[in-house]
Amino acid sequence: MYIGKAAQLSGTTVKSIRHYEEIGLLPEPKREGKYRIYSQQSVEVLTFIKCAQQLGFKLKELQVILNNYRGDEFPWDMAQRAIAEKKAELVSQIGDLQQLHDGLEAFENNLNDARQECQFERIARYGEKNPGNTLN
């Protein structure tokens, strides 16, 4: 199939496919004259790349997975390791974000406490300076 059909089937663009070839994510396809001919396997790799990107993988990370891929057997073991590493990274980030959230909660509570405390002090000071006045 031609590049346009491969792009359509994989949900990518022609420009992306050419870029993936340039940076080594996708092996250079066979050619018929000046036309690139893509296989179903190429479409599957393109679909993998698109899905991986949607799940947070950067092209540099995908280059590590697909580094030695030349159109033969897909490196499923490398992909599996990369997924495990990405999941561990996310768990760590979730922990960090939870700590930030907890810190913000505590900060907000302290701020509210301080606001109420300051308000009472202001009211008390006003009453001391103006004994005849009452605040309504």
First to last CA, the chain: 82
Structure tokens at 114: 């301080």
Buried residues in 5-22 as b, exposed as e (16+ CB within 10 A) = ebbebbebeeebbeebbe
Residues making up the chain, counted from first to last: 136
136 pLDDT higher than 60: no
Structure tokens at 62: 């995908």
Whole-number pLDDT of residue 27: 87
pTM (2 d.p.): 0.71
- 81-135 pLDDT, tens digit per residue, is 999 999 999 999 999 999 999 999 999 888 888 777 777 666 656 666 666 655 5
Under DSSP, is residue 69 helix (H, G, I), strand (E, B) or coil? coil
Whole-number pLDDT of residue 121: 60
- 13-56 pLDDT, tens digit per residue, is 999 999 999 998 998 889 999 999 999 999 999 999 999 999 99
Torsion sign across C-alpha atoms 111, 114, 116, 119: negative
